[in-house]
Each structure stands twice: as C-alpha cells, then as structure tokens.
A and B are shown apart, each in its own frame.
Chain A
C-alpha cells in the first residue's frame, strides 16, 4: 500500500501535471500563435525570428513585474506600486548618467536599488501593520510617480551615450539582452518558488496566515521578502525600459501593474492567495504580449486593442472558473 502510493506519486511527471492543469490557457496560446502564423495578413510577418525576438523583448518588462506579482498574489496581497517604480527607477538611473556623469553600471544599480527601497518600504509597512497591501501600495504608487515627476519636472531625462542602450536594446549574439535577463529572472523566480523553504513559506502564508504562525513560520519576514523582491523586479523593469527608450520618462509604466496582474491571473493564480504557479504566469504574459503584437500586425487601432485585451482576460479567467467548478462537483 505504502509502496504503491509512493510509486504513484513518484511517477507523476510534473510537466504532464502542469500541462493538464493549464490545458485551457496553453490551448489558447497555441490557437493564438497558429492563427497569427496562418492568417494571410500576419503570416508573413509573425513567424519571423526578428518579430519573435521583438515580441519577447516587449514582453520582458511585463514578465519582470509579473514574477514579483505572482509571489505577491500567492501571498494573498497585491502590489500596485510597480508601475510607478518603473518611472522613478528609470528617471533616477538616467539622471545619474546625464546629470551627474556617473558610470552607466552605477546608474543601473541605482535604478534597481530604488526598486528595492520602495519594495522594502512596502514590505515593512505590510509586515508590521495590518493595513491592507492594496492601500499601502496604492500610496507608494502615488508617491513614486509623484517623485518621478518632481525630479524631472515632467519631461524625459535623455541619455545620449550609446552604451546606455545595451540593457534595453542591445544584443548578445542574436539574442536581445532583455530576453536574456528575462530568462535569468524566470529561473531565479522558479527556483525560489519551487525549490526553497522560502517558496513553501510563501504558499503557506498565502494559504492560511494564521496557520503559518502556528507552524513557526516567520510571517513578517516572508511578507517583507516578497515585497522587496517585487520592488527589485520593478526597478529592473524600470532600467530596461529607460534604456530602450533612450531616456527616463516620468510617465513610463503607467498601468503596467495592471498588465502584470492580468498576466498572473490569466496564468491561473487565484487572487485569494495560496495557490498558483510561475509557469502559468509565463503563459499568461505570453498570451498578453503576443495578443498585443498580433493586433499591431493587424493594424487594429489601440483603443480597440484595450477592448480585446479585456475580453481575453475575462475569457481566460472564465475557462479557469468553469474548470474549477467542474472539478469541485
């Protein structure tokens, strides 16, 4: 009996389980790709290596945010400040180069540190009080956005140095640098969530915070870590975007937190916390990114793009809902 169960558990391939659980969105992703590859208006341009790397590069900033957001949402919270962190990290990093003539490496580190600082602040308030994360990060969202505008006076901070563009628009071989960064970040996130004690603790705190206290889990430390991580991810997104746009813009990343939340939710992570997978988030971010790209290739006007995006989010979550209610019965 014992052996039988062990064997059963051991032979369940994790990849197979993942594919089964996410059949809906994986199917949606495939349908979307096949459609774009076959449809006459896009078949010529979609499946070119240039376009594919282009899509991946565009997705990368959202993917950074979504990595942090996945952890935050599994924890049962939310981080609204990430979009504003993009702006603040971007303008300060750009300012380091154009205003203070600091080396580019230092500027990039400053950008990421800005994200860390705001993330740490979020984490500190959320872990030491019972103020809801929604409120705390709503406040820091406004503060960071405001600071970015104060610092720049509302206009972009331009950087003319060529090397500045490496992080956002450069290549290693034929692969764009942001794509490489994205892969590294995804690996780190997956490792933390699946292979460390911290990962288990995130699921535990998100699933039942009070039980986690009885389990001897340092709940405050887990919350602190997750929000700091989310901040760092946003800082990283900030410098990548600033680099790609040759400038730090105080309006950069407006609404980016919503795209990140959308990627996480489309990827099957429950807003109630306690469950979700980074693999789902990857697919969620891909769907949203490829959808954007496809609509651009089809020359759909950007107002309608928002409508389509909204419908797709609703559909994806609805499929999930139908599946869950079925499995419960």
Chain B
C-alpha cells in the first residue's frame, strides 16, 4: 500500500501512509488508539475508499472497491469483534454465503465433511457440527481463521486477536499462525501487547495520528524505541510507582465462594496498597470481585472492612462501605454509549445534586469537570457522546465515575484493556497518586508486566482459589505462571 490518503470531514485519518507485507511474514501494525490502524485496514478490506494512493498485490496494482474485491484478491480480515452467527454450526459459518448444494437445497453433509477436513488440516480440535454459541471465544477465533483460510487467502489481517483469550490459547493461536506463514501467507497483526511482538512478529510498522512513522525489524529494535515512535516522545516513566509502608488491614475477605467459578478464596488488602490479581482467564478473579461488590446472588464467605464484618448484598451496600468497582468489560458493563460524558461521569453520585425534583446543574458540571481534570480526560465538551471518545478516554471517564463515590477501596478490573500506551502510562500515574493519598487498590490484570510493576503484593488465582501471594520484591513472570498453572 503506497501513499494512502483518507480524509473524513474534519479529520485527516490517513496522511500518506505506506505499508508493505511480504509473503510468509507476520507484520505488526502498531499505534495508539486513533492512530489510523483500523482505517488503514478498512481501506485494505474495501470498506473505505482512499482519496489517493495505490494498493499492489504481487506487484500488480489492484483496485479494491468493495468487500468482494478484497476477498477476490485473497484478503481476509478477522475483526476484533467476532462476526460469526451464534445459532449456526461451525460448518455453516465457514461456508456462509457460499453454501454447497444443488439449486436451493443445501448439502449439509458434504459441507460438514469439508469443514471438518479444513479444521483437521490445522489440527484444530473442534467438531464442525457444533453450534458456534457452544464454543469458547478462542475456539471461535480458530473458526474465523479456518474460514479465512478456506478462501485461499494470501493476506490475513488479525485485529487484536488475543485481547480476550488465555495465554495457553494464545500459544496455540501463534502455532497456527506460524503454520500459515510457512505456507507463504502474509499476516497483518494488530495488537497493543508489546510482549507479543517479540514472540510472533517479524517486522513492525508504526503509525501515529494518521501518519506513517516507520517500519522496523522486530529483532533489531527495543520496546522503548517502539513506544517512543508510537507516542512521539520518550516515555521516561512508563510505570510510576513509589512504594510506601502499608497501613493497617483495610479489607479482609475469607472463604469467598460463588458456588461456580470461585472456590474458597481468601485475601487481604492494607491501607495505601495496590494488590494485583493475576491468573489465567477463567481463574475466577473477576468473579471473586463481583462477590465482594455484591453482584453475585448467593455468594458465601466473610468480608471485613476495618476489622468489622459487613454484609454486602448489592453494589449499593458495597459503596456504603467505601468499595467501588470499575468493571472489566467497559462496553458491556460500564458505558452508557449514547449518553454524554457528563451523564456517564455522574450516574453514581446523582444524590449529590438531585434532590427530589431539583437539579443543581452547576454542581453536576463541577463534579464532571473535577474528574475530567483529575484523569486528564480528553473530550471536547462534557456533552460529548461517550461512544465517540477513544478507548483510553472512555476508561478514564469510567475510573472517574467510580472515584466520584469517594471510595476507600478501589477495585480495577483490567484497567488498561484496549487502552493505548500513552493513556496507560497516565492511568498508572494516577493509581500511584491515589494510593499515596491513602486509597487502597485491587487491580485485576492479565498483563503480567503491569501486575509486576504496579503491585505491592500479587495474589495469583487458579481454578477459583488463591494459589499464592507474592511480595513485589520476589515477583517474577515465571513465579506467577508457576502458581497460575498450578
């Protein structure tokens, strides 16, 4: 792709971008949210049409004017949000839109057999006859890949494929990717996770603000260089953390169970501490926190706040005891997408400015502004629809929303998921500031570097219980993985 330009009203989304993919390589596309990665992919996929620029495949100039053109040219895109039909079988999904059969009748048997052959060829252990909804996210991703391969694609685009699968599944995904590159398929790989680049990618192209910054060979560069290229400046302190003497025990949880994912989990949190919760997906970390926040009906176990036993049966109870939870899945559990930043910022503290039928509009604006400033959220106005902000800014509004409740205990579940590096670093700095001011934080994260660099102590969960606790002086990736794998 050469000299691609794409303009939207008011935004220069792509300004003279170049990207080159060789057969058999994994080429990462790196950049903060809003850098133009998705736009570039959409140009390649035929969804957007660039005002200027050319696309060459195998040295031949091609015109991609629609999704069909892209497919015909051997381009397949696996989107971040999977687009499989849940109530159809794996085989039906793979052959969606090009079903086998004669006339109007579908030859289900033949289709299932062929799909199974495709799956077997990739050594993927999935039955082609099962419904998509019965598969895990990782398995669904495998189906997407097989579907892409079945088009004989030469170019495969993967948009953040590892954002919601476990490490073990990531390993399998990478294996599958290598098999494909061995056969000469080129893979465009988009991810926010730096650690994955070293593992799977050959080259990396960096974009910033819609512009091409540069292309590097992964082996010949360092993480710091890449980050500097992405944000356009050196991030001197990516992680900010000043360790301090922890205070008295603030929260003590004993024998927490929800009867399913959480089995007898116990831990404690001291004042002025950040404790990290590590573990594989499905280890029961988020579920434990949901019990403590009063979201799980029939949860068992004892919760003590400042030595006193408390009953938490709803989020309202939890807030009363100074516990706030910023949920894991921003889109699903946090945002009111069509509403303004202000609505989203103040929904927890309506009681502070609404009394009966009188609304103190000024106070509402002030509260919103306080947390916009505190989190340095970038939004044109408070009326801005939150759905239009970048992931990082949405997350800042979410954290601000819960800080507004003045919690003593802040639970952050994957606070930097889908957040660009610049905003990540800012969120770390804010966390550090909060604990310095006496707040205590529980952070669940699947990013080990984040856990290791931010936590006073790290609890590792496995299969619903706490497998161990590591002090920040002794914590390493290996130690965590050993406990997590149990």
Contacts and interface: CB of A to CB of B under 8 A. Distances in A.
Interface string B338-371: 1100110001101100101111011001100100
B381 A5 contact: yes
Given A2-B373, A9-B381, A215-B315, A195 B362 contact: no
Interface string A1-34: 1100110111010000000000000000000000
Given A2-B369, A274-B338, A216 B332 contact: no
B354 A215 contact: no
B336 interface: yes
A304 interface: no
Contacts of A211: 327, 332-336
B357 A200 contact: no
Contacts of B359: 194-195
B295 A207 contact: no
Nearest to B334: A211
Contact-size category for B: 35 or more
Interface in A167-198: 191, 194-197
B358 A214 contact: no
B166 interface: no
B13 to A, nearest CB: 11
A238 B140 CA distance: 52
A191 B339 CA distance: 19
Interface string A195-237: 1110010011001101101111100000000000000000000
B140 to A, nearest CB: 21
A329 B366 CA distance: 31
Contacts of B347: 200, 204, 215, 217
A75 to B, nearest CB: 13
A122 interface: no
Nearest to B325: A214
A38 to B, nearest CB: 38
A196 B353 CA distance: 10
A275 interface: yes
B335 A9 contact: no
A197 B351 contact: yes
Given A210-B333, A214-B333, A9 B338 contact: no
A195 B339 contact: no
Contacts of B365: 6, 9-10
B344 to A, nearest CB: 9
Contact-size category for A: 20 to 34
B252 interface: no
B382 interface: yes
A1 B380 CA distance: 11
A274 B9 CA distance: 27
A214 B315 contact: yes
Contacts of B39: none
Contact of A208 (B8, B335, B348, B366): B335
Contacts of B381: 5, 8-9
B216 interface: no
Nearest to A203: B339
Given A214-B295, A214-B315, A329-B8, A204 B372 contact: no
Given A195-B354, A197-B350, A216-B348, A208 B315 contact: no
Contacts of B357: 191, 195-196
Given A216-B314, A274-B338, A275-B339, A9 B354 contact: no
Contacts of B8: 329
Nearest to A205: B336
A216 B337 CA distance: 18
Contacts of A8: 381
Contacts of A329: 8-9
A214 B334 contact: yes
A115 B365 CA distance: 39
A204 B334 CA distance: 10
A213 B295 contact: yes
B154 to A, nearest CB: 32
B339 A274 contact: yes
Interface string B369-405: 1001100000001110000000000000000000000
B316 interface: yes
A94 to B, nearest CB: 35
Contact of A5 (B335, B348, B356, B369): B369
A308 B356 CA distance: 43
Contacts of B334: 208, 211, 214
B460 interface: no
Interface in A253-274: 270, 274
B431 interface: no
Contact of A216 (B315, B336, B372, B383): B315
A277 to B, nearest CB: 12
B119 to A, nearest CB: 33
Contacts of A270: 338
Contacts of A196: 354, 356-357
Nearest to A328: B388
A211 to B, nearest CB: 5
A9 B345 CA distance: 15
Contacts of A215: 315, 347-348
B435 to A, nearest CB: 23
A215 B336 CA distance: 11
Contacts of B348: 215-216
B319 interface: yes
Interface in A111-154: none
Contacts of B369: 2, 5-6
A215 B293 CA distance: 11
A270 B338 CA distance: 10
B42 to A, nearest CB: 13
A180 B200 CA distance: 72
Contact of A200 (B327, B335, B350, B356): B350
A207 B334 CA distance: 10
Contacts of A200: 343, 347, 350, 354
Contacts of B318: 216
A207 B337 contact: yes
Contact of A204 (B327, B336, B351, B373): B336
A208 B336 contact: yes
Given A5-B382, A10-B365, A195-B359, A214 B343 contact: no
Interface in A73-103: none
5 contacts: A191-B357, A194-B359, A195-B354, A196-B357, A274-B338
The 6 A-B residue pairs with the shortest CB-CB distance, nearest first, are A216-B315, A207-B336, A195-B357, A275-B338, A216-B316, A274-B338
Given A1-B373, A9-B381, A191-B357, 10 more contacts: A10-B361, A194-B359, A204-B339, A211-B333, A214-B295, A215-B315, A216-B314, A274-B338, A275-B338, A329-B9
Interface of B: 8-9, 295, 314-316, 318-319, 325, 327, 332-339, 342-343, 347-348, 350-351, 354, 356-359, 361-362, 365-366, 369, 372-373, 381-383
